[in-house]
């Protein structure tokens, strides 16, 4: 007898959709067949439902230790599981202290092991004063490093100066790791911010969009690619918001550079007008762009030029998004969206006629390959049984359905075209919509 059998599902693989059963034993997929004849301790009926590999979300901000009131490993992993995510990579900032040395890595690892119900990997941080700490963080097990090219206005994790960035990239290349970059030009942003503050005619959304023009992204991406050529450092560009930046990165990859990129569902589903319509819950950095830029980015995604979708889940307490306390420039800039990344991916796939067998490259396969997660990313015999079961039933986002610790979100009242019915990590149910 197997421990678990998922029966009668429409199993999504890279080669197509298979109708049948999945047998699970010792946390791994042991058999995939039209019908598994053996019995199981637990059977899960997936009739008329799709069975996907679990989402790998490589970009979330769980602010533990120090800011658990924003989000923590327990609430955050439960929220992600409800969204079909089975593996997440936690960023090194927003926690206090930031994850910039091996001791802090080990502290976070301990917390994640105690509290997370899903798999967790950790990013280390590259800042101005810790290049000599990069190797010890690699030895402690970080998946890679994160750095900011523009200033963050967070004294616990500031941006890295260009000279230090080059030194850090050279070291990261020697360590065989990847550097994730927030690529916006600090110089352009500082100039644009002052210009935007002078503009009395623009709407709130217009002011914020003008304060972070796409030229800041394009310049920084181009510069980082030059740095990569010099240092041979593998790069991963986070939350890319323009098709022009996608093209620059794609061109560098075609020339042989070791680069990858992600975008976030909110850049594909929403445009800058959401800030005026929804409020500060729609503020993020880079900002949501105008409609023509959104559509161009969506076309780049449909062409397969974007490697993966990540949430950049970055929640905060409600007061930090309060327009009575902050203006658009000083309010917290982050999207609460981790629970809805996979649902958003499914919506995009259905509306844009993207086959599910192609979609899983952007939700799991590419991430598993890029970060050498050999036992994850797809439904195959021998892989971990990290699985999400989905029905084609509408899901309306309401606060009582949000599992994030601070459930204010750009997605509130949004109607998705699918529902997450069940999520399994190594064959163990971590979320069940019926319970």
Please, what's the b/e burial string for 418-430 (b: 16 or more CB within 10 A of its CB; e: otherwise)?
bbbbbbbbbbebb
% residues pLDDT > 70 (the chain): 100
How much is the pLDDT for 348? 98
Residue scoring higher pLDDT (435 or 167) = 167
Tell me the per-residue pLDDT of 242-292, one tens digit each, with 9 for 90 and over: 999 999 999 999 999 999 999 999 999 999 999 999 999 999 999 999 999
Q: What is the mean pLDDT of residues 206-214?
A: 97
Alpha helices in 176-213 (DSSP H): 186-198, 204-211
Tell whether the model's pLDDT for residue 149 goes beyond 90. Answer: yes
Distance of CA 129 to the CA centre of its chain: 27
Burial of 355 (0-12, 13-18, 19+ CB in 10 A): exposed
How much is the pLDDT for 332? 95
Report how far residue 185's alpha carbon sits from residue 169's, in angstroms, rounded to the nearest whole number. Answer: 18
| CA triple 114-320-286, angle to 5 deg | 85
How much is the pLDDT for 387? 98
Domain residue limits, the chain? 54-370
Query: pTM (2 decimals)?
Result: 0.97
φ, ψ of residue 337 in degrees (nearest 5) = -145, 5
- Identify the sign of the CA torsion 360, 426, 429, 29: positive
Tell whether the model's pLDDT for residue 435 goes beyond 90. Answer: no
% residues pLDDT > 90 (the chain): 98
Alpha helices in 176-318 (DSSP H): 186-198, 204-211, 214-231, 243-254, 265-269, 273-278, 291-302
Beta strands 259-263 and 308-309, pairing class? parallel
Tell whether the model's pLDDT for residue 154 goes beyond 90. Answer: no
Q: What is the mean pLDDT of residues 346-362?
A: 98
Please check whether the domain covering 54-370 is classified as CATH 3.30.429.10. no
| CA triple 61-308-258, angle to 5 deg | 100
Q: How many CB atoms lie within 10 A of CB 346?
A: 25
Q: What is the mean pLDDT of residues 65-70?
A: 96
Tell whether the model's pLDDT for residue 153 goes beyond 90. Answer: no
173 confidence band (pLDDT: 50, 70, 90): very high
User: Which residues lie across from 13 on neighbouring strands?
Assistant: 16
Report how far residue 134's alpha carbon sits from residue 329's, in angstroms, rounded to the nearest whole number. Answer: 33
How much is the pLDDT for 143? 98
322 confidence band (pLDDT: 50, 70, 90): very high
Contact 29, 383 (CB under 8 A): yes
How much is the pLDDT for 370? 98
Report how far residue 189's alpha carbon sits from residue 72's, in angstroms, rounded to the nearest whole number. Answer: 31
Name the token pair of 301: 């995604």
Task: Name the residue among 269, 129, 331 with its Cα closest to residue 147.
Answer: 129
Name the token pair of 197: 């503050």
Per the prediction, the chain carries an average pLDDT of 97
How much is the pLDDT for 268? 98
404: left (phi over 0), alpha (psi -120 to 50) or beta: beta
| CA triple 250-252-254, angle to 5 deg | 70
Tell me the per-residue pLDDT of 217-251, one tens digit each, with 9 for 90 and over: 999 999 999 999 999 999 999 999 999 999 999 99
Distance of CA 375 to the CA centre of its chain: 20
Tell me the per-residue pLDDT of 75-131, one tens digit each, with 9 for 90 and over: 999 999 999 999 999 999 999 999 999 999 999 999 999 999 999 999 999 999 999
């Amino acid at each position: 007898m197997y421990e678990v059998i998922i029966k009668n599902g429409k199993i999504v693989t890279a080669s197509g959709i298979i109708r049948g059963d999945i047998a699970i034993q010792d946390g791994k997929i042991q058999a995939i067949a039209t019908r598994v004849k053996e019995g199981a301790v637990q059977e899960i009926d997936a009739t008329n439902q799709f069975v996907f590999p679990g989402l790998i979300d490589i970009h979330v901000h769980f602010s533990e230790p120090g800011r658990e009131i924003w989000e923590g490993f327990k609430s955050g992993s439960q929220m992600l599981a409800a969204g079909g995510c089975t593996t997440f990579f936690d960023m090194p900032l927003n926690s206090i202290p930031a994850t910039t040395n091996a001791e802090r890595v080990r502290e976070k690892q301990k917390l994640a092991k105690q509290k997370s119900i899903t798999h967790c990997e950790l990013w280390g941080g590259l800042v101005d004063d810790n290049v000599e700490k990069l190797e010890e963080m690699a030895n402690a097990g970080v998946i890679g490093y994160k750095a900011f090219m523009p200033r963050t206005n967070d004294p616990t994790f500031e941006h890295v100066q260009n000279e230090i960035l080059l030194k850090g990239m050279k070291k990261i290349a020697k360590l065989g790791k990847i550097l994730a970059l927030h690529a916006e030009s600090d110089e352009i942003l500082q100039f644009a911010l002052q210009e935007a503050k002078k503009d009395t005619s623009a709407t709130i959304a217009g002011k914020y969009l003008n304060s972070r023009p796409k030229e800041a992204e394009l310049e920084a991406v181009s510069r980082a690619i030059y740095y990569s050529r010099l240092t041979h450092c593998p790069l991963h560009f986070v939350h890319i918001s323009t098709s022009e930046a996608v093209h620059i990165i794609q061109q560098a990859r075609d020339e042989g550079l070791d680069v990858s990129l992600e975008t976030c569902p909110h850049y594909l589903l929403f445009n800058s007008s959401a800030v005026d319509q929804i409020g500060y819950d729609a503020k993020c950095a880079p900002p949501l762009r105008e409609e023509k830029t959104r559509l161009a980015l969506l076309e780049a995604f449909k062409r397969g030029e974007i490697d993966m979708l990540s949430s950049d889940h970055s929640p905060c307490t409600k007061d930090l998004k309060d327009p009575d306390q902050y203006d658009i420039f000083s309010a917290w800039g982050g999207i609460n969206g981790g629970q809805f990344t996979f649902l958003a991916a499914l919506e995009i796939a259905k509306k844009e006629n993207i086959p599910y067998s192609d979609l899983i490259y952007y939700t799991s396969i590419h991430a598993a390959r890029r970060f050498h997660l050999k036992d994850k990313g797809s439904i195959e015999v021998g892989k971990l049984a990290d699985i999400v079961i989905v029905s084609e039933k509408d899901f309306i986002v309401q606060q009582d359905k949000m599992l994030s610790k601070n459930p204010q979100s750009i997605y509130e009242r949004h109607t998705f075209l699918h529902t997450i019915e069940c999520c399994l990590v190594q064959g163990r149910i971590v979320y069940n919509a019926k319970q």
